[in-house]
């Protein structure tokens, strides 16, 4: 059905309006986000302090939830009104069952998730009392994810393909090539690794990095790494002929558009940070949803910044992602995006 999101008419997916488990031929014609990425079980421990070397600490709490960057960003996009299909791989185990059930409940199209022999990937995250976290990942069946899992029938000039870098770089490269051949738009969150070729960069429309990743990538591409985040975004945007967004945590985010226009956006001021582990995925999924809804990049960045900030006020990732209404309630709590001279 059509409705208005942030003042833009867009076709969105409403749970209960149609089946959420698989696609019909008509579904391939809508303005869809296709997320190609990891599907994992998220094992989360809350502790008072992190353990030191050869040291054990007792957890204050422990929970297992669906996770993985691909699944997380898909859920964040759905919460912001997008229709999303997820292309991934999960094991034929209890973790895989739980993840699919949760994604279907959110409204994701899950027919693109292949069930493989082996164990579902896992992410073990330890969060301390200050909201900071450390993590250990095991790819499991995510290592089997390949470009062949993405059907060409899903790709068209109305689609937006969203990727991350916890899948094989050659598979991401192949997916991006398929997407560009179909004239789909492409967006990549360069996390957790900066493993990227010039060919990958050339096939991107949007690149999302944090400041550390921006500096590493700039160094790899022989760009100036001593400049500020906005200048690094400018260098990456020019190099890839794309829109480059650099996230800055509690300081918000900056971007340089394909046209060479710079923007800065603030983050919400929070009284207390509970958990930062889901902020990046929340930002990326929300940004993708807003861009796909036809919103100008600066406005999309503002909503993504609010979403990421709100995510830090709750424990976990998917459980903490805000909805459209929750983002809108805080829309006047940060200034509008500011254009910057470069």
For residue 250, give the DSSP letter.
G
DSSP 301-333: HHHHHHHHHHHTTSSSSGGGPPPHHHHHHTGGG
Token pair of 131, please? 């909201």
- Of 213, 186, 216, which Cα lies nearest the Cα of 201? 186
Looking at the structure of the chain, the number of domains it has is 1
Token pair of 267, please? 């983050």
Say if residue 67 is exposed, middle or buried (CB neighbours under 10 Å; 0-12, 13-18, 19+): buried
Q: How far is CA 199 from CA 50, 54, 175, 207, in A?
A: 40, 43, 12, 14
Q: Domain with 305 in it: what CATH number?
A: 3.40.1190.20
Report the SS3 class of residue 191. coil
CB 165 within 8 A of CB 137: no
Residue 18: count of CB within 10 angstroms of its CB: 13
Task: Extract the runs of DSSP E, i.e. beta strands, from the chain.
Answer: 2-5, 8-11, 32-36, 40-46, 61-67, 83-91, 113-116, 121-127, 133-138, 160-164, 185-189, 206-210, 243-247, 253-256, 262-265, 338-340
User: CA-CA distance, 208 to 223, in Å (whole number)?
Assistant: 17
CB 32 within 8 A of CB 83: yes
User: CA-CA distance, 176 to 199, in Å (whole number)?
Assistant: 9
- Which H/E stretch holds residue 91? strand 83-91
Question: Phi and psi for 214 in degrees, rounded to 5?
Answer: -60, -45
Residue bearing tokens 């945007």: 237
For residue 7, give the DSSP letter.
T
Q: What is the pLDDT of residue 226?
A: 74
Token pair of 53, please? 């070397």
User: 61 pairs with which residues across the strands?
Assistant: 46
Q: What is the pLDDT of residue 117?
A: 93
pLDDT digits (tens, 9 = 90+) for 130-143: 888 898 989 999 99
User: CA-CA distance, 232 to 226, in Å (whole number)?
Assistant: 9
Alpha-helical regions (H) of 161-242: 169-181, 198-202, 211-220, 229-240
Q: How far is CA 34 from CA 69, 81, 153, 194, 324, in A?
A: 13, 14, 12, 21, 20
Enclosing domain of residue 146: 2-340
pLDDT digits (tens, 9 = 90+) for 209-266: 999 999 999 888 888 877 799 999 999 999 999 999 999 999 999 999 999 999 999 9
* pLDDT lower than 50: segments of the chain: 1-29
């Amino acid at each position: 059905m059509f409705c208005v999101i942030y003042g833009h008419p867009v076709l969105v997916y409403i749970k209960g309006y149609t089946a959420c488990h698989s696609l019909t031929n008509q579904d391939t014609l809508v303005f869809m986000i296709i997320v190609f990425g990891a599907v994992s079980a998220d094992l989360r421990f809350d502790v008072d302090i992190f353990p030191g070397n050869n040291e054990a600490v007792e957890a204050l709490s422990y929970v297992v939830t669906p996770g993985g960057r691909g699944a997380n960003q898909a859920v964040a996009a759905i919460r912001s009104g997008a229709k999303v299909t997820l292309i991934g791989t999960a094991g034929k185990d209890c973790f895989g069952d739980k993840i699919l059930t949760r994604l279907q409940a959110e409204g994701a199209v899950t027919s693109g998730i292949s069930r493989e022999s082996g164990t579902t990937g896992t992410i073990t995250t330890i969060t301390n009392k200050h909201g900071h976290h450390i993590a250990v990942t095991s790819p499991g069946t995510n290592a089997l994810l390949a470009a062949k899992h993405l059907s060409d029938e899903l790709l068209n000039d109305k689609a937006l393909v969203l990727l991350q870098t916890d899948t094989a770089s050659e598979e991401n490269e192949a997916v991006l090539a398929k997407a560009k051949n179909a004239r789909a738009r492409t967006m990549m969150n360069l996390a957790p690794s900066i493993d990227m070729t010039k060919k990958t960069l050339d096939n991107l429309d949007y690149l999302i990095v944090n400041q550390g990743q921006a500096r590493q990538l700039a160094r790899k591409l022989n760009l100036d790494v001593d400049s500020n985040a906005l200048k690094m975004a400018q260098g990456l945007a020019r190099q890839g002929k794309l829109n480059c967004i650099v996230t800055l945590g509690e300081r918000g985010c900056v971007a340089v558009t394909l046209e060479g226009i710079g923007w800065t956006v603030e983050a919400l001021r929070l009284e207390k940070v509970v958990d930062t582990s889901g902020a990046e995925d929340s930002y990326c999924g929300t940004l993708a949803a807003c861009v796909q809804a036809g919103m100008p990049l600066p406005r999309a960045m503002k909503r993504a910044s609010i979403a990421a900030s709100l995510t830090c006020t709750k424990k976990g990732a998917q459980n903490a992602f805000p909805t459209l209404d929750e983002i809108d309630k805080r829309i006047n709590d940060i200034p509008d995006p500011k254009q910057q001279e470069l």
